[in-house]
Structure 1
Amino acid sequence: MAVLVTGGNAGIGYFVAEQLAQQGAEVVLGSRDEAKAEVALRVLRERVPGARASWARLDLADLASVKGIETGPLDAVVLNAGVYLEGPERRETEDGHELMFGVNHLGHFALTAALWDRLTPEARIVTAGSFAAKSAQLDFTDLQSTRSYAPKTAYERSKLAQTLFALELDRRLRAAGSSKLSVVAHPGGALDSLTPDRPPLHVRSARQKLSLARIVLQGKDDGARPAVRAAAGPDVHSGQIWGPRMFGLKGRPRPEPVRGPYADPEAAARLWAASAELTGVEPPVS
């Protein structure tokens, strides 16, 4: 089993790659930074002796990089990488898209199209959702947040867009009679302070190790488990959303209801059309 994990050189993406490697999968870390990818690969190989792991150059903020990614055949792709900007300044990708919408959603939309011919017949496309998306709404008159920019709102909308894309992809796969799966997975409340050390990739301070947040939240290692389950679990079905068992914040993965802003096929279809126009490509589902 070969799996590409975007953003696999750090955070949740690293733990997705590590856990899949422990299950015997060949993992490819999608990263724009070769030095960081090499550090992650070294740590991964120390944790999983004999792991089959490599990296592929990928900058989701640059559609030329996305469209030119080099990989072999893939049994799954985990669309995990993401960016969250806290500052007040609106920033753009190389292609002039609002950075969070461009990286988190449009980059992954274009990547899915670029990889389509390399996905095996029963491949799984796992999209990283977020608890934050549950209260979001898309503004189709201003998808790029040009009129009114608020970082938190822009991030929530980008994660909602990812989820709607994954569910629309599922509808199109089913309509085409495809055996590929499109699944959403979200990590719940995953914090650095609750994440086990992976030096030099990640090292907690003594104060972080005493955090009481573990009562209701979890580390990024546990936050990776829904995506791992979605990518490799035998009980996974296309169109599902997988998240932590306890209030969607922590615990073992389980499927969640598709409801609220997620259960809007009209919005998902509009988003797909807009995304295809903005990127110049779309997954050729057939």
Structure 2
Amino acid sequence: MSSVLKPQPWDVHRLPPAEGKSFLVTGGNAGIGYFVAEQLAGTGATVVLGSRDATKAEAAIVSIRSRVPGAEVRHLRLDLADLASLKTSVAALGLDRLDAVVHNAGVALDDPPRRETKDGHELMFATNHLGHFALTSLLAPVLAATPGSRIVTTGSFAAKSERLDLDDLQNTRDYRPQRTYGRTKLAQMLFGFELDRRLRAAGSTTLSVVVHPGGALDSLTPARPPVRVRTTGERLRGLPLGLLVQGKEAGAWPAVRAVLDPDVRGGQMWGPRVFGLRGRPRAEPLWDHLADVTTAARLWSASCELTGVDPAFGPL
């Protein structure tokens, strides 16, 4: 018999311990972000919920602690749509190490009219992409000071059928909310891959990984009162869909694995195993347009101009 031990399969319900590590989850007070935070808190790590709403964040903290006794979890006020506020937020983080940031927070608008932030940026593009781009730059010193740190960017299946209009990133022409949302998620994903290329070129030990949750529906998501309340009728109506998609607890699995699994590599994309829509997390081949390095580089340059920052990491 061989004395070489086979690697154990990743178990989403038995996560490796992470005591002494620190993780920041943007949008960790609700949706998939909440479940990312809850699952990471179960590893013994310190988990920071980045959220602009202190009341919702406190409700999430109470819920997490009810399921993870003694959880080290706290709130950081974070408004990704307000670029000028991010420096203050990062200064308040108060950590000398940051093992991972999960760029999860996002805005999805369903109806016109087009909305702008006070900086004059389209709201979804500003929150989903520009805010995370600027946050990455501000977190660079503490991430670079933490060997093997990770930047996990949450994309979406909605990006698979979209293409960026580099001449109209703010969607000022022919604004359609669902298309704009898909483009903002595509921008996030392209950023995540371009970031990893730049990290490797700089000799950094920080990794950039892109994930997506597949199909994650509220009706299939377990209750977490008061953060998430699910009626019996909602649960029953969602059961048939469970053959194709999943709830947000399972939608969190790719991001959690990207944070914790030592076998994850920079530049990878992780998503659900079954047709990219449901199931346990696995590394997937990149969609063709995600490998477009020219578009990614042009998006990076445009993002630098729009935010006034340029995320840069060097070797330790």
Which residue of the partner structure matches residue 154 of structure 1? 180
Residue aligned with 1:122, SS = coil
Which whole-Å deviations, capped at 9, do the CAs of 1:194-239 have from their partners, x for residues lacking one? 0110011101111111121111110100000000000111210000
Q: Does structure 2 retain, via aligned residues, the 8 Å contact 1:136–1:261?
A: no
Q: Which amino acid aligns with 2:44?
A: G
* Most deviating of 89-98 and 62-71: 62-71
Deviations 1:159-187 (A, max 9, x none): 00000000000000111111110000110
What secondary structure does 2:71 align onto?
Answer: coil
DSSP-derived class of the 2:80 partner: coil
From 244, 254, 274, the counterpart of 2:272: 244
1:213 maps to a residue whose letter is L
Structure-2 separation of matches of 1:259 and 1:186: 12
Is 1:121 the equivalent of 2:147?
yes
Q: Which residue identity lines up with residue 179 of structure 2 in the other structure?
A: T
Which residue matches 1:26? Answer: 46
Of 79, 82, 100, which residue of structure 2 is paired with 1:62? 82
Aligned residue in 1 for 2:203: 177
**Equivalent position SS for 1:258:** coil
Q: How many residues align?
A: 286
* Equivalent of 1:262 in 283, 287, 290: 290
The CA distance in 2 between the partners of 1:31 and 1:228, in whole Å, is 19
Does structure 1 retain, via aligned residues, the 8 Å contact 2:160–2:287? no
Q: Which amino acid aligns with 1:225?
A: W
Q: Which residue of 2 aligns with 1:109?
A: 133
Contact 1:97 1:144 in 2 (8 A): yes
Distance 1:252 1:229 in 2: 10
- Paired residues of 1:67 and 1:110 also in contact (CA < 8 A): no
Percent identity of the aligned residues? 65
Give, as a single letter, the amino acid of the residue that structure 1 aligns with 2:273: R
Give the number of the structure whose alpha-carbon radius of gyration is greater: 2
> Post-superposition, which runs of at least 4 consecutive aligned residues in structure 1 deviate over 2 A?
none
> How far apart in 1 are the matches of 2:113 and 2:262?
44
Amino acid in the other structure paired with 1:96:
G
Q: Distance in 1 between matches of 2:205 and 2:234?
A: 44
Residue aligning to 1:36: 56
Aligned counterpart for 1:134 among listed residues 157, 160, 171: 160
Gaps of 5+ in 1: none
- Structure 1 residue 66: Cα displacement: 1.8
- Report Cα offsets for 1:67-97 as digits up to 9, x if no partner: 2212112110000000000011100112110
**Aligned-residue CA RMSD in angstroms?**
0.8
Work out the CA distance in 1 between the residues paired with 2:86 and 2:147. Answer: 22
Q: 1:7 aligns with which of 27, 33, 37?
A: 27
Equivalent position amino acid for 1:176 in 2? A
Following the alignment from structure 1 to structure 2, what is the Cα–Cα distance between the partners of residues 3 and 95?
Answer: 29
Aligned-partner Cα distance in 2 for 1:231–1:39: 24
CA contact (8 A) 2:209 2:268 kept: yes
Correspondence for 1:224: 252
For 1:67 and 1:282, the matched residues in 2 are separated by: 14
Question: In 2, distance between residues paired with 1:190 and 1:67?
Answer: 32
Cα deviation per residue 1:227-258 (whole Å; 9 max; x = unaligned)?
Answer: 00001112100000000000000000000111
Aligned partner of 1:272 in structure 2 is 300
Residue of structure 2 in register with 1:93 after alignment:
117
Moved more, 220-229 or 19-28: 19-28
Distance in 1 between residues matched to 2:85 and 2:29, nearest whole Å: 17
